[in-house]
Amino acid sequence: MKKTKYAIIAWLLLLASCISSIHPIYHPEDLLQLKEVVGDWQIDDDIWAFEFYEEGSFKGYQLTHREGDDKTSTFYAGLVKLGDHYFFDFYPMEADLAEETSSLVNNHLVTTHTFMKVRWTKDQLFISQFEYDFLKEVLSKNQLRIKHEVLNSPTKGMRSSGDFLLTASTDDLKKFLAKYGGVEKAFEEEASLTKITRP
């Protein structure tokens, strides 16, 4: 029970991603479509539904994220293998907030990519986000050189002050994740989703 409680807490923190990227972690030719990922996966009251999706040069998945009974969002989900590990790159298909706000507010919104390491078995999907504190440490000690900005918001807003926004190129992001993909402390504790439907 204690482990389950911590896993759910870790999952909630994971959803509030604080490391985003201007660029994706893949080029179109890197994208994979593996049937093992297709289906509905659940953790607590959240459902993550993956289905194959193609649009232009994008050949990956559409992720429909259902949070409880009243919140649904859709994402481009690009699956890639970097080094010995798989990663998902998520990018919103629709700006839900933009439909509820004025054009003036919309002009200030920038959509970004987030990424997570992923692995799976027949019935479980395990995902983990890059560890904020680890990234902060290696950057402060000059052990890692990757283009980024540290957001500094003087007021409460959509982003928290201190969040990282990676501005590195796709090629540099790929090298970065390939290098650190096997470093256990570089990633948060895995969240485990259970498959509830099969394609």
Instruction: Return the pLDDT at 9.
Output: 39
Instruction: Return the pLDDT at 39.
Output: 96
- The string of pLDDT tens digits covering residues 18-61 is 589 999 999 999 999 999 999 999 998 899 999 999 999 999 99
- Whole-structure pTM value: 0.83
Instruction: Return the pLDDT at 199.
Output: 59
Of 93-97, 107-111, 125-129, the range with the lowest mean pLDDT is: 93-97
Task: Decide if pLDDT at 104 tops 80.
Answer: no
Instruction: Return the pLDDT at 91.
Output: 94
Of 12-16, 22-26, 32-36, 94-98, the range with the lowest mean pLDDT is: 12-16
Instruction: Return the pLDDT at 6.
Output: 40
- The string of pLDDT tens digits covering residues 166-190 is 999 999 999 999 999 999 999 999 9
H/E run at residue 8: helix 2-15
Distances (CA, A) of 54 to 8, 19, 41, 57, 157: 32, 26, 21, 8, 34
Residue 175 CB burial class (10 angstroms; 0-12, 13-18, ≥19):
middle
**Partners of 52 in beta bridges:** 61
Instruction: Return the pLDDT at 72.
Output: 86
Long-range pairs, 126-129, Cβ under 8 A, ≥24:
126/190, 126/191, 126/192, 126/193, 127/14, 127/88, 127/190, 127/191, 127/193, 128/14, 128/187, 128/188, 128/189, 128/190, 128/191, 129/14, 129/17, 129/19, 129/187, 129/188
